[in-house]
Amino acid sequence: MLPLLTSLLPIIGNVLDRVIPDSAGNARARLEIEKALVDAAAKGQIAQAEINRIDAQSANWFQSCWRPAVGWCCSLAFVAHYLLFPLANWIGKLNGVDVPLPDLDMDSLLYVLGALLGIGTLRTVEKARGLTK
């Protein structure tokens, strides 16, 4: 959602420059639109968090455990890529053995792991509104 917002803001700014020539009115309108976009994104994130909470409380094991399963898979892949594979490679080189190790797509993995950890706009919005300590 954040990339969409950042791509929309310059377009909205150009439209406002043409529609509202007054710089003070233009700045006010731009601020109101940016606030509305951020609020809409935050509401979407809050709604998704509520869905996640309800999903996690489900009595159905398959429905309630898929996020932890994805989290554990991401964690294991993270440990393998940054700890196990380098150690295996190092031990193999010490023993004169070339160990062919798989190449993990860490960009995608870190994107999913970051989303699971809540590294995104929602945390920023919570802090900006003083909802966290």
* Interval 50-94: pLDDT, tens: 877 777 777 777 667 777 788 888 888 889 988 999 999 999 999
Q: How many CA atoms lie within 13 A of 100 on its CB side?
A: 0
Q: Which of 7-11, 30-34, 97-101, 121-125 is the most confident on average?
A: 97-101
Q: Residue 49: CB partners within 8 Å, gap ≥ 6?
A: 122
Which pTM value belongs to this model?
Answer: 0.45
Nearest one of 107, 84, 28, 34 to 19, comparing CA atoms: 28
Other CB atoms within 10 Å distance of the CB of residue 74: 20
Question: In Å, how far from its chain's centre is CA 69?
Answer: 18
pLDDT at 32 over 60: yes
**Nearest partner of 69 among 55, 88, 82, 81, judged by Cα:** 55
